[in-house]
Amino acid sequence: PGIYVCAKCGHELFSSHSKYEHSSPWPAFTETIHQDSVAKREERPGALKVTCGKCGNGLGHEFLNDGPKRGQSRF
C-alpha cells in the first residue's frame, strides 16, 4: 500500500488504490496519481510509451482499453 514513485527522481506516479491483478508479470495500474505524473507518446496503435513526467525515466507502456473495466487503460 502507498504511493509508487519514479526510481530515478522520486516523482509520484501511481497510488496502490489504482493497482490491480493482471496476467502480466509487472504491476498494473488503471490511472496515474497526478495529471503530470507521466508523459506519453504513441509507440504503436493501442500502446503508448510512458516516461516519468519529471525526469523522463522510462516506465514502460500504457495499453489502451486493456484495463479491468471496459474503456480503461492499463499502465
This prediction's pTM: 0.87
Superfamily of domain 3-63: Peptide methionine sulfoxide reductase. (2.170.150.20)
Look at residue 24 in the predicted model and tell me its pLDDT: 84
- The pLDDT mean for the chain works out to 94
Domain ranges of the chain: 3-63
Look at residue 13 in the predicted model and tell me its pLDDT: 97
- 54: Cβ–Cβ under 8 A, 6 or more apart, which residues? 6, 9, 11, 36
**Which tens digits make up the pLDDT trace of 32-53?**
999 999 999 999 999 999 999 9
Confidence category of residue 25, pLDDT binned at 50, 70, 90: confident
Backbone φ/ψ region at 64: left (φ over 0), alpha (ψ -120 to 50), beta = beta
